[in-house]
Structure 1
Amino acid sequence: MVSRKQNEKRIAINNPLLKTIAIRILGCCAGLILFFFLLTLLFPLPQPKLYSTIITDDEGKVIHAFLTADDKWRMKTELGEISPLLQKAIVEKEDKWFYRHPGLNPVAMVRAFFNNLFTGRRTSGASTITMQVARALEPKQRTYANKFIEMFRALQLEMRYSKKEILQLYLNTVPYGGNIEGVKSAAVLYFRKNPDHLSLAEVVALSVIPNRPSSLVIGKTNNDIIVERNRWLKKFEAEGVFPATEIRDAMDEPLTATRLEAPKEVPHLSWKLKSSGNDIQRTWINLNTQWKAEKLVKDYVRTLQFRDIHQAAVMVVDNRNHHVIAYVGSADFADTTDAGQVNGAAAIRQPGSTLKPFLYGKCIDAGLLTPRMVLADAAVNVNGYAPENYDRQLNGYVTMEYALEHSLNIPAVKALRMLGKDAFVEDLSDVHFRQIQKDRRKLGLSLILGGCGATLEELTALFAGLSQEGKYQWPEYTQPGHDPDKKAKAVTQQMLSPAAAFLVNDILSKVNRPDFPLSWTSTEKMPKIAWKTGTSYGRRDAWSIGYNKHFTIGVWVGNFSGKGVPSLSGAEVATPLLFRLFNTIDYDSGKDWFEAPASLSTRSVCTATGLPPGPHCTETVSDWFIPLVSSTQTCQHMQEIAVNPEESISYCRICQPLNGYRKKLYAVIDPDMQAWMQDHHVAYQHIPPHNPDCESVFRGGAPRIVSPSNGGEYLIYRKNPEPLQLVCQTGNEVGKVYWYINDAFYKTASAGNKLFFQPEEGPVKISCTDDKGRNRDIWIRVRMVD
């Protein structure tokens, strides 16, 4: 039998009226849904408001914040900062059904309608958290029509975002009076905390303010806020939202907060990072290290004021992870008299001698030099460029390590010439020296003495690579995913081989250097460091950059105006600050140091040249070298020369007689060193002049004309003309040279003697021929002026 209920159900299903009603209901629902989507296409959700750019330290604490374009403090609260405590307190107070409604709460709406209807005034609202977000994104006057728009926007929000994201939007836009919006802004500006570090009492205190932002103002009406806070805490206790013990502790917690200034730490780096456009820039800055560096810089510059030196900049890199942990762009950001807001760490300045370690390291890797290899620190003229040492003294023969220890200029220029200027420029361009990249076609040999542009950031990053076995890596200013420069920078690059890096480290860490501050010789706890100083042309910039296994610290001292100061130098002014920084940041860190890599070995070399001993070498010394890389050429410093019994004539193989001669050892001395020896009255044995009856033609070794400069233009006064000097350098076997002006014989002179001549206006050809028939021509241009 068919039951009565089944029969009634069958009748209901077959009832055409009920079918019609159901179809119409479904049609209406479908129409409403389609209408909703049509409205969504026509009236899309407004974009979320722009946030304040905030800078955080290595622990996530806000250390600098910027106003939005509409002058609001609106700091973005991230999902991870919405702690369970914050989430629970806000939801329970504002919208306890938040996770169970679709953006609208029908029960609350009906309740609010009847309450307002019977009382004749607004006694309760029905706005959900989602609706409040909609109102914040699109502020409007509170009318019934706008209420429907608000409800429509709430449904749109629920379709696009998750509940967690909607809660995040609410916490980011909730008003706290004045120009403060969002829980994070309130937490930072009132409590100096991030939202996830707020206590229950602080969370509830902040939750009551948005309902009465004009009357509940932290710092002015704290007692009223406590009363309202405790009222809600009691309500939470009655509803069992939080344990009673936590409620009692929260109610007893005092509220002493007041409106604070927005944090303004690490200003130069913060402004640098602000341009990236990210809402949050998470740096690796360690505030304790930053504060120490700032105080040391400020106090140190104060002591330099009487010397007319007003600024300094410092950058500290943790070598263990490449993080920038301190960044000081000037002595005082707030100092307007000395342009304190200029970022000295990012300013392009002349680097002085700071690039020399990398030049010598490159020469080591190219097999051109080893630490004990000898260079001539003697006057040189390269196409009119005549570099001088810092003290304007010449030292004669020096080893490469001595030249680097004493930062000699002339050996560095010669080393750059050996390596090739273009190759070195390319190497620096590869590690992101921006100004050198721009000027690569204009740079000459002077770049190794500071004739180029570089920043403290670039130089500090370069030296940090020496602590990593020559592996360059751009320092990380911000945590992963937030570095605006990282995309343009290579992650790692082998700048020098581990062997070359170790040798440079070994040389730069010696304490018997002339630039070692005397006041630090007795400091027992000073960490061992390697460092290099630099002073730019005109004494405008003083540099000192040091490193060990733990840290790399770059220091610049000078004036942002570019004004030179006679007492400004890297050794005397910048290095003391570098040592103070290391003695504070890395105090008593032990003697942990770099170890020689397996690719290095030692060998005996001739003391005269630094090359493996030749057959006539008598004195040797031990030297580092890189097998299969370093030169294996043997020393040829001493050569056997055939001379007559009186040692007045030398013979070549062609004119050597069958008998009546003997062989004698002579030192082969380059022309520049001969000139140095003559100027410094250093006696040496000349090779006798070649047999005048020999008819052989010698090739190579022609005289080198050092004055005047080839291709140079000379201005000479008509009324009081000054003569030009003729100087050449020759081999020590040359006795006489013959000068020609415009192919006309002028004078004969002994090798090394200086002559003068009065040129005519226009192009002038100058020729010099030695007594072996080797000739050199140059051209100059002379202009007469009145």
Structure 2
Amino acid sequence: MKLINDIKRHKIKSVVLAALLVAYYFCLPKDLFKDPTATVITSSNNTLLGAKIADDGQWRFPKTNNVPEKFKTCLLLFEDDYFYIHPGFNPISIFKALKENISSGSVKRGGSTLTQQVIRLSRKGQSRTYLEKLKELILATRLELRLSKDEILNLYASHAPFGGNVVGIDAAAWRYFNREASNLSWAESATLAVLPNAPSLIYPGKNQQQLLNKRNRLLKKLLDNGTIDRLTYQLSIAEALPQKPYPLPQTAPHLLQKVAKHNKGERFKTTIDVALQSQVNHIVKQHYNILKQNEIYNISVLVLDVKTRKVLTYIGNSPTDKAHQKSVDIIDKPRSTGSILKPFLYAAMLDAGDLLPYTLVPDVPTQFGSYQPENYDKSYDGAVPANKALSRSLNVPAVRMLQSFGLDRFYHYLKALKLKDLTHSANHYGLALALGGAESNLWDLCKSYAAMASTLNHFNAKSSRYFTNEFCEPTFNFKTTINFGSPVAEKQIFNAAAIFYTFESMKQVNRPESDLSWEYYNSSQEIAWKTGTSFGFRDAWAIGTTPDYVVGVWVGNADGEGRPGLIGVQTAAPILFDVFDMLPKSEWFAKPYDEMITVEVCKQSGYRASTVCETTTLLEIPIDGQKTPPCPFHRLVHLDSQEEFQVNSSCESVSNIHHKSWFILPPLQAHFFKLKNPIYKSLPPFRSDCDERTTVAMEFIYPNEQKTIYLPTDFDGKTNELILKVAHSKPELQIFWYIDSAYIGSTKTLHEMAMIPTPGDHTITVVDEIGTTIKRKIKVLQ
């Protein structure tokens, strides 16, 4: 009541006092410092990976939250010994400074506390007058009420100038001593403690004697007050001063570039394993020095932890030069995929129940309209197990499998993987989709392989359950923990059995020459991996996975220039295996038995065994594989008693006919198959007295299904011949050749016919001696 009465009696004084209190409360800006800061990235253990200079050209790191003890001790002893007990200003220091300055007639001594220096740093550009000192004093007391002593000390350490364009203890430690501030010695900490006192006059490389004297006087104080012993003191004063700033680490420059787009001016802790990043940087540099001799200049590498989906290594480009796009981060750039999408096709067909792992698929000359795929070595196997077609990266079987499976169905699987560079419709890519007709990037491809590996891991570890967010984006943000969603019974894209058999096939891919005998060494690990080479030798890929890690490598030229020898297995694969050698060894994936069923499979064809398959085996297949048809290649044939000839009821008594299962491929497949498989047994011929019309078949080898044929001319202007070829199930039969109903000749055993047709449309007709006829329409251009 008395206070209220006093206020009423002294209204003006009370209003003035209240106004002063309000002014005092609001006199300090909410944010003392608004200077731009550098973008800083650190590894998962807080090691500096790199920094991008602030917009004002200063090496000013974001505010530190922890001032190293050695630097704090040196700083307080040098600048403000009573920091933890004064209210923001030190009356004794101020009195001594005034006395000395008045007696000398100039400013010789400041008398400012660290709190006042924080205020002065925030009010940059202000003249050093007594009025300004008064303002600093008032603001300093207000700052003491707002922040703790340690917070004030952090502000000072983060914004103090250290000479040149270096601001703050963190940047200074790296620029002058090339290490973290927490790892500085007593001599180094003392050096940095005295620098802000006169940063424009004294900094490393300039005024060395003055800097040395100041540092050593501070070290002597540390000795005198018992902070350091005499041996430490003697060793410290013997340490040399830094001569010039060090460049900041550039361990992951392209990741820094990516982080700066969305977290500019921040301190960003990444998931990068700094030791692994440094090792892979060294590997990339070694391979770059070799590849650049062939004018191949760019390499990118990504390493993911499958179980956490964290990025462990991020190398966006090789250490090339500006002329070869050194600053371009290729990890997220679209490039032609080559064969790197083939495993997804194989997995999709297994998942849909359209294929079994070892089913024979055709590998013969093939043409779809104007599109004619070819294998890399331009040879054909006739028929090849699907898993071998994938491990050998055969193009023709892949395209035929895609055509059989359906372009739209496969495209649906790829879209489910969220490959962001797949921007056109399925028809735009056509059947070339499996061979590099589309573009993708290393990030999306690695995340897809990681998701498949993780699906298998989770299925086996979580009671045969799938996770709803399995196919998620990886992260390089240490603070982010991937949420894989909730466990469910339904697959998300591929079932676990399809993934397992895809990886089993990829494990058999022939490794580079240096790793050809890898399976004989205990130190080697099993890796599911795949290479890719784009058309024109512009892009070389290699991506591999174990249950724990995914490694992805791209090699090429950022400008798209192709080079001879720019092939996945020759350029990207060696890097991939060098990186895997740096990673801990993983055990192989366990079989997902709950997604499998045991069935009888034909050993020769890989299909489900039919009743006439001669040799069968029990194998686990994906459950949906039960939908696949039984073996179409085994047929019950009828032989004479010596099994030398085929017979039928037209020439042999039924009681004398022997019935035997026989593996028979279609003529075109058989033609190429027996070139690679000498043990392939053709059907015995029919006995001469038997009617065999219904058992004979033949197919064109060339021309195949293409409609347009170009006849080139040689250097003499002579038109080259067109070589017609036919495969016959009974090659010893004579066949007769016609063009547009005009007879042109006959062949026996080797059914090839050379001719020079006139330009235009023609019909090729082939008739064997028992009347079997096939035709092919062509258009000839010269």
TM range (shorter): 0.7 to 0.9
Secondary structure of the corresponding residue to residue 444 of structure 1: helix
Could you list the per-position Cα deviations for residues 556-604 of structure 1 after superposition, in whole angstroms to 9, with x for gaps in the alignment?
3333343333333222333333333333x14xx6673222123234432
Give the residue type in structure 2 aligned to 1:284.
T
Within 2, Cα distance between the matches of 1:15 and 1:398? 101
Distance 1:472 1:440 in 2: 22
- Counterpart of 1:653? none
**How far 1:20 sits from its partner (Å)?**
6.3
Taking the aligned partners of 1:176 and 1:615, their CA distance within structure 2 comes to 87
The runs of 5 or more residues in structure 1 that have no matched partner are: 1-9, 651-660, 692-701, 771-775
Tell me what 1:296 maps to: 283
In the other structure, the counterpart of 2:771 is none
Q: CA deviation at 1:115?
A: 5.9
Distance 1:189 1:495 in 2: 50
Q: Aligned with 1:565: secondary structure?
A: coil
Question: For residues 120 and 514 of structure 1, what CA distance do their matches in structure 2 show?
Answer: 81
- Judged with a 3 Å threshold, the aligned counterparts in structure 2 of structure 1 residues 632 and 187 are, in CA distance, closer, same or farther, namely same
**Match for residue 49 of structure 1?**
35
- Structure 1 residue corresponding to 2:617, chosen from 621, 625, 645: 621
Q: Which amino acid aligns with 2:240?
A: T
Checking the alignment, whether the CA contact within 8 Å between 1:526 and 1:582 is kept in structure 2 is no
| Cα distance in 1 for residues equivalent to 2:479 and 2:424 | 29
1:480 maps to 479
Q: In 2, Cα distance between the equivalents of 1:387 and 1:359?
A: 16
User: Residue by residue, what CA displacement relative to the aligned partner does 1:38-87 show, whole Å, maximum 9, x if unpaired?
Assistant: 878xx8756521111122223212232222122111112431x3245544
Deviations 1:215-244 (A, max 9, x none): 332344555435334544565677x6xx54
Give, in whole Å, the separation in 1 of the partners of 2:148 and 2:729: 85
**CA distance in 2 between partners of 1:432 and 1:523 (Å):** 38
Segment of structure 1 superposing worse, 720-729 or 489-498: 720-729
Q: Does 1:30 align with 2:46?
A: no
Query: Is the contact made by 1:461 and 1:473 (CA closer than 8 Å) also made in structure 2?
Result: yes
Q: Distance in 2 between matches of 1:111 and 1:23?
A: 40
Q: For residue 580 of structure 2, what is the aligned residue in structure 1?
A: 582
The alpha-carbon deviation at position 178 of structure 1 amounts to 0.9
Amino acid at match of 1:593: W
Per-residue Cα deviation, 1:729-778 (whole angstroms, up to 9, x for no partner)? 9999xx9999999xxx999999x999998788xxx99999x9xxxxx999
| Structure 2 residue aligned with 1:538 | 536
Secondary structure of the residue that 1:616 maps to in structure 2?
A: coil
Are residues 1:261 and 2:256 paired? no
Please tell me the root mean square deviation across aligned C-alpha atoms, in Å. 5.3
Q: Counterpart of 1:253 in 2: which secondary structure?
A: helix
SS of residue paired to 1:218? coil
Please name the residue that 1:328 is paired with: 315
Alpha-carbon distance between aligned partners in 1 of 2:7 and 2:444, rounded to the nearest angstrom: 79
In the alignment, the residues of structure 2 paired with residue 434 and residue 329 of structure 1 have an alpha-carbon distance, to the nearest angstrom, of 18
Map 1:386-397 onto structure 2 (within 5 A).
386-397=372-383
2:395 corresponds to: 409
Code of the aligned partner of 2:414: L
| Counterpart position of 1:65 | 51
Counterpart code for 1:122: V
Match of 1:5 in 2: none
Determine if contact 1:517/1:575 at 8 Å carries over to the other structure: no
1:533 alignment partner AA: T
- Report the AA paired with residue 566 of structure 1: P
Match runs of 1:40-189 below 5 Å: 48-79=34-65, 81-87=66-72, 89-91=74-76, 93-95=78-80, 116-117=101-102, 120-125=105-110, 127-144=112-129, 146-147=132-133, 150=136, 164-189=150-175
Contact residue 605 and residue 611 of structure 1 kept, 8 A: yes
Match of 2:498 in 1: 500
Aligned to 2:462: none
CA–CA distance in structure 1, aligned partners of residues 700 and 358 of structure 2: 29
Distance 1:550 1:662, change over 3 A: closer
Task: Give the aligned length.
Answer: 724
User: Relative to 1, partners in 2 of residues 1:512 and 1:123: Cα closer, same or farther, differing over 3 Å?
Assistant: closer
CA distance in structure 1 between the aligned counterparts of 2:4 and 2:339, rounded to whole angstroms: 99
Contact 2:612 2:636 (C-alpha < 8 Å) held by counterparts: no
Unaligned runs of 5+ in 2: 457-469, 639-645, 651-656, 686-690, 768-773
- Deviates further, 95-104 or 442-451: 95-104
1:274-673 residue pairs with structure 2 within 5 A?
274-278=260-264, 279-333=266-320, 335-336=321-322, 338-437=324-423, 442-470=428-456, 472-480=471-479, 496-510=494-508, 517-518=515-516, 525-583=523-581, 585-586=582-583, 592-599=587-594, 600-628=596-624, 630-631=626-627, 633-638=629-634, 673=669
Check 1:404–1:320 CA distance in 2 against 1; reply closer, same or farther (3 A cut).
same
SS of 1:527's equivalent in the other structure is: coil
Task: Indicate the residue corresponding to 1:696 in structure 2.
Answer: none
Normalising by structure 2, what TM-score? 0.75
Q: Spell out, residue by residue over 1:523-555, the C-alpha distance to the aligned partner (whole angstroms, 9 max, x if none).
A: 664433332222221222222223334433323
Question: Whole-Å Cα distance in 2 between the matches of residues 721 and 153 of structure 1?
Answer: 96
- State the secondary structure of the residue aligned to 2:569: helix
Following the alignment from structure 1 to structure 2, what is the Cα–Cα distance between the partners of residues 407 and 688?
Answer: 40
In the alignment, is the contact (CA less than 8 A) between 1:723 and 1:759 conserved in 2? no
SS of residue paired to 2:421: helix
Contact 1:319/1:552, CA 8 A, preserved across alignment: yes
Alignment pair present for 1:272 and 2:258? yes
- Specify whether residues 111 and 32 from structure 1 end up closer, same or farther in structure 2 by C-alpha distance, changes over 3 A only: farther
Does residue 206 in structure 1 map to residue 192 in structure 2? yes
User: Counterpart of 1:562 in 2: which secondary structure?
Assistant: coil
Question: 1:289–1:70: structure 2 CA closer, same or farther, 3 Å change rule?
Answer: same
Amino acid at match of 1:597: P
CA 429–113 in structure 1, closer or farther in 2 if over 3 Å, else same = farther
CA contact (8 A) 1:314 1:327 kept: yes
Name the aligned partner's letter for residue 261 of structure 2.
S
Q: TM-score, normalised by structure 1?
A: 0.75
Deviations 1:1-60 (A, max 9, x none): xxxxxxxxx9xx6999x76665443221212244567878xx875652111112222321
Structure 1 distance, partners of 2:248, 2:273, is: 19
